[in-house]
Amino acid sequence: MKEQSFEANLKKLEKIVAQLEDEKTDLDKSAELFEEGSALAAELSAKLKTIKFKVSEIKEKQGDLFTEEINNDDE
């Protein structure tokens, strides 16, 4: 099975959040969605950390030891 792209997983997470915010979603479905959303959020966060590390490595290999902190206001 092919791994979903970051963007596809982000859209999926956004849909889950919208369903959780919908008052019509029952408790059992909400619990299921919360579990799925939590797993997706963890996967997306791990992917971002990996990319941040790779960018730092590339900059270091180029001799540019100056690194800027990447702001993530969502954390």
Q: Enumerate the domain spans of the chain.
A: 6-61
For residue 11, what pLDDT band results from cuts at 50, 70 and 90?
Answer: very high
For 9, residues 6+ apart whose C-beta sits below 8 A from its C-beta are 40, 43, 44
Tokens of 35: 């579990």
Tokens of 12: 């999926």
**What is the arithmetic mean of pLDDT over 48-70?**
79
Q: List alpha helices for 1-75, DSSP H.
A: 6-21, 27-61
For residue 32, what pLDDT band results from cuts at 50, 70 and 90?
Answer: very high
Q: How far apart are CA 31 and CA 28, in angstroms?
A: 5
